[in-house]
Amino acid sequence: MALLQLQNQLKEAVRSAALELFGIELDQIGAETPPRPELGDLAFPVSFELAKLIKQGTGAKVPPRTIAEQLKTKLEAAAEVARVDVAGAGYVNVFFDRAKLLSLFAGKHAGAVAEAPPIPDRPKKMVEHTSINPNKAAHIGHVRNAVLGDTFVRVLKAAGERVEVQNYIDNTGVQVADVVVGFTELEKMTLDQIKALDASLPADVPFDYYCWDLYTRVGVFYREGADEETKSARLRLRSDVLHAIEAGNNPTAELANYVATRNVERILDTMERLDIRYDLLARESDILHLHFWDRAFELMKSAGVIRLESQGKHAGCWVMPFESHTGTDEHESDKIIVRSNGTVTYTGKDIAYQLWKLGRLGLDFNYKPFRSYPDGHVAWVTTTEPNAEILPELPRPNFGGGVKVYNVIDSRQAYPQEIVARGVVALVPEIGADASVHFGYEMVALSPAACTELGIELSEEDRARPYIEMSGRKGLGVKADDLIDRLEKDALKEVEARHPELSTDERRATAHEIAVGALRYFLLKFTRNSVIAFDFNEALSFEGETGPYCQYAAVRANSIFRKLDETAIEAAAELLRKATTDSQTGARVSEVLGGEAGTEVWSLLMLAERLEEAIAQCAASAEPANLAKYAFTLARGFNLFYHRHRIIAEEDEIKKAVLIAVADITRQRLTSALATLGIKVPERM
């Protein structure tokens, strides 16, 4: 039995006791962990609520402590419960039978949490993340998006959900058009020349890096060094390119497609370094050419979700009424979906796409494989070509049609996201208002110190700010690959100093895992709505509350078991099982787990056993930082335990068995928690 089951059992006991004693039906029973282990293993603050309900029902004022006393006797009946205390103003504190619980937990292979198989009939959840404009390299702000999304996917999977991961490719946007203008106007290049350039670029300036610089140069080209007439001619150039891309089937569109696809490939390479993968790349050009919008437009018109304005400043536009934002003189409250020139806005396209994700559009993409990962997983991409996917050896999954969609998009887009969600729910009310979730997060900004380090000159105004926003347009930002390279270099230096006996490949692999652990943890330890003011020292640290700290704890634990006899774990479990029948052994185990030192060991076990709870809570709250904190707390607990006890040298057989069991459970749970965060545990570090 797992701890979670035991908790649920006790909650049921509280529920039936409340019904029996007071005739009150409790719908939700809160159970919490007491602030200090001396107070117990599980606390029910339920007496306070019952006191309130009794007063409401009968008018009788019953002190919470009196209620708690009555609940106490009911809970003490459970076999796993050693005793129950009433504490404070009326807490019901449960103390478990430590020896009994340890014997229940020991020797099992509990590490399978991260690979919990999805339940096949489970309705599918969709997570869209990354969605970087494919016109330049990814920066750390993009990585925050991808790491949050990928981690949340892992959390959902660990909680037994079926999940589909999508990456939206806006390959027809102005950003791509800008880079195309850069190639054709600034570089005067043809598609063949671009391909030749791409093939000849040095390793330290890959295609997406080249585009990064070109993109900023185009920005300057539009804005500076020319008279107004020339500038507006240049901007016309941009909109001509944009239209050509949208229309498709012309040389400009072909060139743009090459640029976008190459950038997507490079971005996927970057993400793969961080163990981030996708099931489907959904391209905007395909949404356009397969007429998803036309269908959505018809649906919206016939449902009366949008209306055609005949007068006012929005005359000729199709708008969606949006009353929650009161209109002012400057800003209308209605949201334009179709412009007066007949073109659709981004929001309109997004509604169509969101409908498809939820299986409510009545149209589908065509698909073809885009890339295969080493383990055989395939990321597919949408296409307009019919039957493109017919490859008998590669069965295609069914994409789309989820019951719930999480869009990982930064919180600046809260307003457009709200409109999309409302539009969708207005069209298909039966899916419910919570089918579209904006999984928002704050941006990664640069600290003034980071800017200085990057050699970025700041204006006086910017220097006074707490942080400076990154900008792809201005080329202001830390490229993801650069940061990963630097982390790997730093980690490699440490590994080389500590483990000269390892081969070059092993050292490099270890350094890579440490670098990934450091970066992923750094981006996950902040809650979603906290702005990360990026600081190199903090991000490059391997000490304190970091990924490597957590990895290190697991590595140390593993090294104990590498040195122990292979049968030690099973032998320890056997001895602990004996303790449940043999009263003398049982008393000794209780003694080892008692007292101040024993309570510390016991607390670690309790914490480790709360992994499922932590994952479930993380899935429900959609806050990956919760799990990151849990992993760190568990690692910290283990490091203390490690320091206090010598397992291999322990002479007391019973104590050794207890220590082995607790250390084994802890390392399994820690490894599992880290895996769910996308962090691996190296052999040595």
Partner RNA sequence: GCGCGCGUAGCUCAGUUGGAUAGAGCGUUUGACUUCGAAUCAAAAGGUCGCAGGUUCGAGCCCUGCCGCGCGCACCA
How near is the Cβ of 327 to RNA at its closest, in Å?
Answer: 9
Find the part of the chain contacting RNA (CB under 7 A) among 27-35, 73-81, 191-199, 296-304. Answer: 27-35
Q: Which segments within 373-403 are labelled E, that is strand?
A: 378-383
Find the part of the chain contacting RNA (CB under 7 A) among 171-179, 247-255, 372-380, 582-590. Answer: 171-179
Q: Which segments within 452-526 are labelled E, that is strand?
A: 468-469
How near is the Cβ of 328 to RNA at its closest, in Å?
Answer: 5
- In the complex with RNA, the residue whose CB is nearer, 301 or 556, is 556
How near is the Cβ of 369 to RNA at its closest, in Å?
Answer: 26
Q: Does 126 bind RNA (CB under 7 A)?
A: no
| Closest by Cα among 315, 321, 320 to 340 | 315
How near is the Cβ of 227 to RNA at its closest, in Å?
Answer: 23
- In the complex with RNA, the residue whose CB is nearer, 133 or 672, is 133
Q: Does 448 bind RNA (CB under 7 A)?
A: no
Q: Does 500 bind RNA (CB under 7 A)?
A: no
- In the complex with RNA, the residue whose CB is nearer, 431 or 491, is 491
Q: Do the Cβ atoms of 127 and 163 come closer than 8 Å?
A: yes
Distance CA 332, CA 532 (A): 33
Secondary structure letter of residue 160 according to DSSP? T
One residue of 314, 371, 486, 508 binding RNA per CB under 7 A: 314
Name the token pair of 113. Answer: 């949490």
Q: Does 172 bind RNA (CB under 7 A)?
A: yes
Q: Report residue 424 CA to chain centroid gap.
A: 24
- Binders of RNA among residues 45 to 104 (CB under 7 A) are 45, 48-49, 52, 87-89, 91, 93
Single-letter amino acid, residue 115: E
- In the complex with RNA, the residue whose CB is nearer, 365 or 522, is 522
Name the token pair of 110. Answer: 């509990």
Distance CA 160, CA 6 (A): 20
Q: Which helix (H) or strand (E) holds 534?
A: strand 532-534
Distance CA 184, CA 197 (A): 13
| Closest by Cα among 587, 591, 571 to 579 | 587
Total residues at interface with RNA (CB under 7 A): 102
- Binders of RNA among residues 556 to 575 (CB under 7 A) are 556, 559-560, 563
Find the part of the chain contacting RNA (CB under 7 A) among 363-371, 425-433, 476-484, 487-495. Answer: 487-495
Find the part of the chain contacting RNA (CB under 7 A) among 153-161, 213-221, 495-503, 568-576. Answer: 495-503
Give the 3-state secondary structure of residue 412: helix
- In the complex with RNA, the residue whose CB is nearer, 97 or 178, is 178
Single-letter amino acid, residue 109: H
What x/- string results for residues 512 through 551 when contact with RNA is judged by CB under 7 A?
A: --x----------xxx-xxxxx----x--xxxxx--xx--
One residue of 179, 296, 317, 573 binding RNA per CB under 7 A: 317
Name the token pair of 376. Answer: 């055989």
Q: Does 34 bind RNA (CB under 7 A)?
A: yes
- Binders of RNA among residues 348 to 407 (CB under 7 A) are none
- Binders of RNA among residues 575 to 604 (CB under 7 A) are none
- Binders of RNA among residues 627 to 666 (CB under 7 A) are 629, 632, 636, 639-640, 642-643, 645-649
How near is the Cβ of 343 to RNA at its closest, in Å?
Answer: 6
**Residue showing tokens 């016309």:** 236
Q: Do the Cβ atoms of 609 and 669 come closer than 8 Å?
A: yes
Q: Does 626 bind RNA (CB under 7 A)?
A: yes
- In the complex with RNA, the residue whose CB is nearer, 38 or 115, is 38
Q: Do the Cβ atoms of 197 and 259 come closer than 8 Å?
A: no
- In the complex with RNA, the residue whose CB is nearer, 52 or 377, is 52
Single-letter amino acid, residue 487: L
What x/- string results for residues 270 through 309 when contact with RNA is judged by CB under 7 A?
A: --------------x-------------------------
One residue of 254, 494, 506, 591 binding RNA per CB under 7 A: 494
Q: At what angle do helices 251-273 and 480-498 cross, to 10 degrees?
A: 30
Name the token pair of 518. Answer: 């450091």
- Binders of RNA among residues 224 to 263 (CB under 7 A) are none
How near is the Cβ of 618 to RNA at its closest, in Å?
Answer: 10
End-to-end CA distance of the chain: 34
What phi and psi values does residue 385 have, to the nearest 5 degrees?
-65, 120
Distance CA 205, CA 479 (A): 12
- In the complex with RNA, the residue whose CB is nearer, 485 or 538, is 538
- In the complex with RNA, the residue whose CB is nearer, 442 or 485, is 442
Beta strand 91-96 pairing with 468-469: unpaired
Distance CA 86, CA 92 (A): 5
Q: Does 140 bind RNA (CB under 7 A)?
A: no
Q: Do the Cβ atoms of 91 and 41 come closer than 8 Å?
A: no
Name the token pair of 57. Answer: 């029902």
Q: Does 341 bind RNA (CB under 7 A)?
A: yes
